[in-house]
Amino acid sequence: TASNGTSEVDLSGTSLIGYSSVSDMAGGILYRDDGELSTISVGDAFSNLDGLSRDDRIRYDTPSFAGFKLSGSLVADERADVALRYSREFGGTEVAAAAAFSRKPDDFDRVNGSASILLANGISVTAAAGTEDVDARDDDGMFYYGKLGYQSQFFSVGNTALGIDYQYGEDIGADGDETSSFGVFAVQNIDDLATEFYLGYRYYDLDRDNTDLDAINAVLTGARVKF
């Protein structure tokens, strides 16, 4: 859809292992409530409200003008969205941003966006935020996200990217929810092998009414080979 990816603009070089969709690392892991396994998963509680995600659609994208591109799509079940994207480079500094509005009549309205800047010295700053009004819920869901990154060629084999991030959310999984997550990441490129090795750690905390949920810690490592 037009809005897919608009919460996920990220120039840090570490989005392979950690980005605004913080639940990707451990979305199926269940929280423990006062020591007992609950039915609440990380994926139930955290979201980056990324528009209408991926789906069958009718979509139109305008040509790019001065770095801007406008998109719109019609999706099944009367859903629709519109998105604006921007991408430019200024003297070695890269800038990218996106924003979107999506809705389904008598169900929800959602506004979200993200932006990222990569300086010539390798430092990057990324931010994302979103809010949604769900008709069946009393409170509007919201989140905000920030990441600080650094890239450099410490080793001759390829670029190294490091990052640290934080996300806070309210009323995503249920009315009254408060969520927070932070992560630390590293990606090492091996240019001759077209391979990226990655390592990441993430902490997930959920405060939900009438529960005593234990925080979750997750570690993920692996490699991606590009063909």
Tell me, what's the pLDDT at 69? 98
82, 45, 98: which is closest to 208 by C-alpha? 45
The number of distinct structural domains making up the chain is 1
Which amino acid, residue 51? G
Task: Give per-residue pLDDT as tens, 136-161.
Answer: 888 899 999 999 999 999 999 999 99
pLDDT reported for residue 57: 87
CB atoms within 10 A of CB 31: 23
Q: In what order do the strands lie in the sheet with 195-207?
A: 57-61, 68-75, 79-90, 93-104, 108-118, 123-134, 141-155, 158-170, 178-190, 195-207, 216-225
Alpha helices in 19-162 (DSSP H): 42-45
> Cα-flanking dihedrals φ and ψ of residue 182, to 5°?
-135, 155
Residue 90 structural domain: 22-225
The whole-number pLDDT of residue 55 equals 81
Question: What pLDDT digit, counting tens, does each position of 1-36 carry?
Answer: 999 999 999 999 999 999 999 999 999 999 999 889
Which pLDDT band, with edges at 50, 70 and 90, does 106 fall under? confident
| Mean pLDDT, the chain, integer | 96
The pLDDT of residue 77 is above 90: no
- Residue 159 has a pLDDT of 97
* 142 belongs to a structural domain: yes
Please report whether residue 4 resides in a domain. no
Task: Tell me if 5 is assigned to some domain.
Answer: no
Structure tokens at 89: 């480079």
Q: Give CA separation, 195 vs 7, 159, 168, 191, in Å.
A: 26, 11, 32, 7
Q: For residue 57, report the phi and psi dihedrals to the nearest 5 degrees.
A: -160, 165
pLDDT category at 110 given cuts 50, 70, 90 is: very high
Task: Please state the rounded mean pLDDT for residues 79-96.
Answer: 96
Residue 10, in any domain of the structure: no
Q: Is residue 55 part of a domain?
A: yes
CATH of the domain at 208: 2.40.160.10
Backbone angles phi, psi at 22, to 5 degrees: -65, -25
Of 159, 160, 117, 126, the closest CA to residue 145 belongs to 126
pTM over 0.85: yes
pLDDT at 78 over 90: no
Confidence at residue 72, expressed as pLDDT on a 0 to 100 scale: 97
Query: Is residue 194 in some structural domain?
Result: yes
Tokens of 159: 């670029």
Residue 14 falls inside a structural domain: no
Asked whether residue 132 is assigned to any structural domain, the reply reads: yes
